[in-house]
Amino acid sequence: MTPVRVLAVASEVYPIVKTGGLADVAGALPIALKAHGVEMRTLMPGYPEVMRKVAGAAELRTWPDYFGGPGRLLAGSHEGLDLFVLDVPHLYARPGNPYVTSEGVDWPDNGVRFAALSRVAADIGHGLVPTFVPDVVHAHDWQAGLAPAYLHYDNRPRPATVMTIHNMAYQGKFAPELIGAIGLPWHSFSVNELEYFGGISFLKAGLQFADRITTVSPTYAREIQSDEGGMGFGGLLRARSDVLSGILNGIDTSVWNPQTDPHIAYRFGAEDLTFRAANKAVLQQQFNLDSSDEAPLLGVISRLSWQKGLDLLLEAIPTIIEQGMQLALLGSGDRDLQEGYQAAARANPGRIGVVIGYDEILAHLVQAGSDALIVPSRFEPCGLTQLCALRYGSVPIVSRVGGLEDTIVDIGETGHDATGFKFGPVTADALAWTLRKVNTAFHNKAAWRRLQRNGLATDVSWRGRAGEYAALYRGLMAARA
Ligand code: ADP
Ligand code: GLC
């Protein structure tokens, strides 16, 4: 196996900083790639959490003026992850969420903040760190989208580049005036380069200039080539379809392992699913739900946003009540949705339980104690919670989109290897109709056990999927040799 060196560039990495699935992927993939002979180092911004957690950070480089203030590049590690940290206090030393202020609005200088990250990625690509000269620079989402663009405009020998789209909805759009401030050539402001509806888009930069584009499921790779799914980039992606592919995400099966999980009330393996009942009882307590083993308990763990379709689930609450089911929802996000669910919980005490917030530990209990996990997304590049659900014996109920389509086998599709329920179109009616079907299936104990066992037997790990990335990197290297 030829060794490969890859610089990954990501704005969040689990377990250091996480707002969603991107962090899970950026944190798990480097570890899984080791078995495939890929040495991956990840470049991330030096937010306060990162500066606290990264041990033994060695200073590789200092700049008196990096995008308007002093900066340093550090190398360090955290829980098996090899990291480069861009420590630029005037850009990153801010508490809380990496992208937004405490009022929930984007930091006004996000363009500069993430251009700075991509600039140093390109420089590492050119050999800034002599002990780690990457063969491939792998950029994740718009925050890293300028890395392939800088490498292109620098017009020097460069490593190969990969751009991975985790979510087409976040496009990194900024005013054209930024171009000068971030050191890009003015001619980049053209329709075949960075220009996007009168401004510039960092995502477009990555999609335009990366040697390969990937996204996180084969179905999403097809969907984003349509005008609707492409959210403005359908045409560009159709034009680049020869370099675009979908590689499914996995999950970290050591973090998500019901046999060893320290965050659940009772641990269990595939052979002793009866212990799930004890987790269900604790979950009911924690969400103020009536204690009942017979009522099917539906779980949700999600950002509350339009993407996730949770307004549709809110509309389907009368069906949940009428069918004698319960709901435990853990989520945070849009204020209207938060308030909608809180009102539903007040109106249906003991039946609808809601925890507004972001709580890693509780997320594990929802997986271990719910009978089914609902993901009613309008679009979903991959989705990770349904994969965790498969591993915890909670039966996924998902919409027929993106990675949900690719990772769940519907009960109607085959006789024996079904793992869950899929519904489409993505409407409240279709969801309500499916919930009735779920209720019937739940009360057929043998059928339900089969769904659970099939889920538990599904490989949701990174093992094989990391191999697809390794093959992609090697293919790029071979093409340049
Ligand atoms: P997205 O990245 O679009 O939010 P994913 O399903 O890919 O969706 O990943 C979401 C990740 O964030 C999962 O690991 C999930 O468990 C976690 N998560 C989402 N909301 C919460 C929450 N309120 N509390 C704890 N974990 C959450
Ligand atoms: C995005 C997507 C989600 C995907 C995650 C990790 O946040 O919304 O579907 O699982 O990235 O790739």
Q: Per residue in 186-206, pLDDT tens?
A: 999 999 999 999 999 999 999
Whether residue 38 is found in the same domain as residue 165: yes
Tell me the CA distances in angstroms from 216 to 27, 237, 244, 420, 479, one per residue in order.
Answer: 15, 15, 11, 20, 23
Evaluated on CA atoms 178, 184, 186, 189, the torsion sign reads negative
Identify whether residues 243 and 309 lie together within a single domain: no
Out of 97, 263, 303, 330, give the residue to mutate to test ligand 1, the one with the largest number of ligand atoms within 8 Å of its CB. Answer: 303
- Regarding whether 233 and 113 lie in a shared domain, the answer is yes
> Do 170 and 25 fall into the same domain?
yes
Is the C-beta atom of 250 inside 6 A of ligand 2?
no
Are both 470 and 420 inside the same structural domain?
no
Asked whether residue 165 falls in the same domain as residue 41, the answer is yes
354's tokens:
């809601």
Q: Tell me the pLDDT band of 416, cut-offs 50, 70 and 90.
A: confident
Residues 108 and 151 in one domain: yes
CA distance 313 to 34: 40
Across 260-287, average pLDDT:
95
Kindly provide the residue ranges of all beta strands, DSSP E only, lying in 360-425, ordered along the sequence.
Answer: 372-375, 395-399, 421-423
The number of folded domains in the chain is: 2
In a domain, 262, yes or no: no
* 261 located within any domain: no
Q: How far is the CA of 20 from the centre of ligand 1 (A)?
A: 5
197 and 312 assigned to the same domain:
no
In terms of domains, do 154 and 11 share one? yes
pLDDT tens by residue, 336-363: 999 999 999 999 999 999 999 999 999 9
- The sheet carrying 173-174 orders its strands as 173-174, 199-201, 195-196
* Predicted local confidence at residue 204, as pLDDT: 98
CA–CA dist 286, 412 (Å, integer): 34
Q: How many CA atoms lie within 13 A of 254 on its CB side?
A: 8
**Interval between CA 338 and ligand 2 midpoint (Å):** 21
Let me know whether 314 and 332 are in one domain. yes
Residue 265 inside a domain? The answer is no
**Where in the sequence is the domain holding 307, given as residue range(s)?**
276-457
Portion of the chain with pLDDT greater than 90, in percent: 95
Q: What angle do CA 25, 26, 27 make, to 5 degrees?
A: 90
262-266-270-276 Cα dihedral, nearest 10 degrees: -130
Both 243 and 391 in one domain: the answer is: no
- Where are any strands of DSSP class E within 247-390? 297-304, 326-333, 352-356, 372-375
Domain of 110: which CATH number? 3.40.50.2000
Q: Which atom of ligand 1 is nearest to the CA of 24?
A: 14
Joined together, the tokens standing for residue 297 give: 């308990």
pLDDT for 413 equals: 82
